[in-house]
Chain A
Amino acid sequence: MREPLLIEKSKKGRKAYCFPPLDLPRGFDQALPSLPKELSRQTDARLPEVSELDVVRHFTNLSKMMHGVDNGMYPLGSCTMKYNPKISEHIACMEQFTQMHPLQDSSTIQGCLSVMYNLLEDLSSITGMSWGSLQPCAGAHGEYTGLKMIRAYFRKQGALQRNKVLIPSSAHGTNPASAAMNGFEVVTIQSNAEGLVDLDDLRSKLDDSVAALMLTNPNTLGLFETHITAIADMVHASGALLYYDGANLNAIMGMARPGDMGFDVLHLNLHKTFATPHGGGGPGSGPVMVNDLLRPFLPRPDIQLTDSAYVYQWEGEDSIGKVSLFWGNFLVMLKAYVYILRMGSEGLRAASAHAVLNANYLASQLKDYYPIPYGQRCMHEFVSSLQKLKNEYGVTAQDAAKALIDKGYHPPTMYFPTMVSEALMFEPTESESIETLDDFIQAMIEIFEQAKTDASILKNAPVTTVVGRLDEVKAVKEPKLRY
């Protein structure tokens, strides 16, 4: 079932929407001069001309060629594909929020400001930090903002030589990219045999040229950095700061706090941990949270609560300034706030406890088939290696992943982190029941058996989707990027 491009259905004269006629006094329109010729557009753009039903069928059919959390299990590692509550969506459609302009007089948007202020208070409690900013639109944007603040902090100290950011080899690609965007030199820290930060390597690289160490904890292997307090002491003793990538906060929410571990600044992914939907890749929201040391450097404006009202606070000479056009992705913040209200303190703790329970259960059932090179117990996710399967039967991590598609599941994250060869990274989240997990385990075991008996099925997967594996080389060699 193929869906044509809408432009391929276009027919001159069809309309999917009609504007009301211009209702100004007769003659005004005629008397009004058009734009001067030298400022006017000369060429028409080709957009579809279709009926309303054409539009509806087109996008409805496209939505059928998708798999979301609402369709089935989505154990994509490091992405926390948990259930997105419907009440959050419902509330984010309320006119009293969607019809608000960002530059309305602050007396007329006290509701919006109270949501943002209270969300910041809750996130401060959850992370153990002093305060934050909701302006960053995504996790990588939060990293960019946090590193800007670190840069501003050291400039204020006169420590201009602190130009390096240390990043473990297992870190998400956004970490080094964000550091580079801020003009930092990236230095990779090795992992030890247990998959944790190699303390000796870290020690040897910490000197007065280092601005920060960026850590994800638990790391991308799903392992908690057990020496985190010692790491924090080492980093601080050298005069550098400690950055927390909150991508994996779903493992420890309500159980432990980055602030208590000694982190100076962090970003969260509201679209992961706080159950707002990923929307096919965005919009997300990536708040930055800081301790007292970095608080003066937060983006502006801040929101403050005075005796009578919530107000914008633009003052503060140390602020790094603005990082978004307005205040950030407000509707995403609103959904996260609703989630926190629903779950409450005990609920958030329970979410993390069950996310870790589900991951360990899945690991315990899969490890005999798909070995897990690092760690005895995991946190919210774990990484298997299919190297042995590849050596013996020629079946790769990608083959197994594509075969899962035919069984109705979204595959786990593939080939990351790179320290595990033929990696599959599983993160079931707390949302899945034991029955769903058992079915998934069964599917994974079937794939394991098929690798031995009939690997061609796996090599040819998927066959149940509208297209099979696409020729990615052709996509680059003969680029077709638009109609």
Chain B
Amino acid sequence: MIYPYIPHTDEDRKRMLASIGADSLEELFSHIGEDLLLSDSVPISHGKTEDEVQRLINSIAQRNVKGIPFLGCGCYDHIIPSTVKALSSLPSFVTAYTPYQAELSQGLLQAMYEFQSMICEITGLDVANASLYDGANAASEAAALMIGAKRKASVVLVSRTLHPFTLQVLQTWAEGTDNSLRYLEEKDGVLDASMLESLLDEQCGGLIVQTPNRYGLLEDYTGFADLLHEKGMLFTICSDPLSLAIQKSPQEWGADIAVGDTQSLGLEMAFGGPSCGYMAVKQELLRRLPGRLVGASVDKQGRRGFTLTFQAREQHIKRERATSNVCSNQALAALMTSIHLSSLGWDGMVEAARQSYVKAHYLAYHLAQLPGMTLVWDKPFWCEFPLVFSDAKHMRKFLQELRNEGIWAGVRLAQLTRQAKDELVLLVAVTEKRSREELELYLAAARRVMK
């Protein structure tokens, strides 16, 4: 069989083997030892042509059903300008490696510099890295940073209102190490601020909170930064970056570290990945930042250029003393966010955030009129809100009936937490992309089920 991805002809093979001084391809593997060499190919299917593969994938793809998504919980269906796909697919971006050879990688380096700059602008903080895996992993990197920054710290205080999966990733991070998590409990859908001071002690490196939180509710951090800083601790806020177009920025709350996921800025839902974690910090934490960082410099002729910098923090230089093990990041996803933000501008970002806010409130307002479901907590929210059903039967029926109409009505919180107390909670997300027609479709179906 001839493989389009392997260019060798019989004649090429002969010539190359002769140069090497080997009789056969097999001979090149002879030092592996007969007991380990496979005599036959591994038991997977035979190769297929492009056309055959496309047909097979088409039939697999048919088993995915597209609906009108009112789903959120860290992944949202926002409008994405067509520039994003078109420009992020340019092959010299897509097929390049990490820009270690700066002269040959100015394009991506500059785009990452612009990404870092825009993340700084949005969070209000001083320095941002060139991306991390996702929002949850950015939170565990923040936890590691906070513990590393304070002498003898081994505990990170985390809010119970973090995204359930972020909390689970943090739990995995702490498990089996000398580090541990301590919890700031929840009260009425937001963290219980009155408990904060009593939970801070010598071992505590800092606090991680999230707004909009796991229910979509916005939290109030008045006084937090002062309290933490007085005790030499750091303050991390996780946020959906699009929400920062209208809600108070991490810098305005006095945070030292801002983390989150840029999925809401130009990345498709893509079954949850790739998304793109971001991290921004205050200037004094620069040398503790994990991951790649791009800086501007000049060449001998004084021309401005961009290069990976402060690499003495990273694993390929510092090995076990690095600030993190992260190497590959989510560069192409960060590029998509850069293109998205460049296309929207600040006004566009505010518009998307504002329309999401208004449309989410429109749906929430009308759903709240129906029997059998309530918006339990009277708290400000942005584009996602918790709906609590009076009983499980109605909730199941509601989800099923709306699914039959092609509407994904919301995410069951218990699906994420697997806790009985969350059984009746449905999280409904509405973005600027949901049209009036789609909102009315949802409401009409809801009225039919919940009469």
Contact = CB atoms under 8 A, between A and B. Distances in A.
B346 A15 contact: no
A17 B343 contact: yes
Contacts of B268: 98-99
Contacts of B61: 94, 96-97, 111
Contacts of B124: 43, 45
Interface centre among A61, A115, A350, A416 (most CB of B within 10 A): A350
B114 A326 contact: no
Given A43-B249, A474-B297, A255 B137 contact: no
Interface in B172-222: 172, 175-179, 218, 220, 222
Interface string A221-258: 00010101100000000000000000000001011110
Contacts of A280: 93-94, 96-99, 105, 108, 331-332, 335
A472 interface: yes
A58 B325 contact: no
A177 B324 contact: yes
Interface stretch (A68-76, A200-208, A383-391): A68-76
B331 A281 contact: yes
Contact of A41 (B45, B62, B248, B318): B248
Given A66-B93, A101-B269, A341-B45, A109 B64 contact: yes
Given A173-B315, A180-B320, A254 B92 contact: no
Contacts of A321: 168-169, 171-172, 175
A93 B3 contact: no
Nearest to A21: B355
B13 A357 contact: yes
Interface in A41-60: 41-50, 52, 55-56, 58-60
A43 B271 contact: no
A137 B134 contact: yes
B160 interface: no
Given A137-B137, A284-B328, A50 B345 contact: yes
B93 A472 contact: no
B67 interface: yes
A405 interface: yes
A41 B247 contact: yes
Interface string B1-32: 10101111000110111011110010011011
B84 to A, nearest CB: 9
B233 interface: no
Given A280-B93, A469-B103, A361 B19 contact: yes
A47 B341 contact: yes
Given A177-B322, A256-B36, A322-B168, A476 B56 contact: no
B103 A98 contact: no
B380 A39 contact: yes
A129 B17 CA distance: 33
Nearest to B91: A70
Nearest to B66: A99
Contacts of B382: 35
B327 A330 contact: no
A434 interface: yes
Interface string B344-359: 1111110110010111
Nearest to B105: A66
Nearest to B353: A41
A90 B333 CA distance: 17
Interface stretch (B286-294, B367-375, B384-392): B286-294
A283 B261 contact: no
Interface string B21-55: 11001001101110111100111111111100110
Given A140-B326, A350-B6, A52 B83 contact: yes
Given A224-B31, A326-B75, A44 B3 contact: no
A457 interface: no
Interface in B53-98: 53-54, 56-57, 60-67, 69, 71, 73-75, 77, 79, 81, 83, 85-98
B420 interface: no
A55 B339 contact: yes
B33 A111 contact: no
Contacts of B342: 6, 16, 47-48, 50, 55, 58-59
A472 B297 contact: yes
Interface string A454-483: 000000001001111111101110011111
8 contacts: A42-B248, A55-B342, A70-B95, A100-B271, A105-B403, A321-B168, A377-B22, A410-B101
Given A50-B345, A55-B83, A91-B54, 7 more contacts: A60-B87, A91-B53, A96-B62, A174-B316, A252-B32, A256-B37, A325-B273
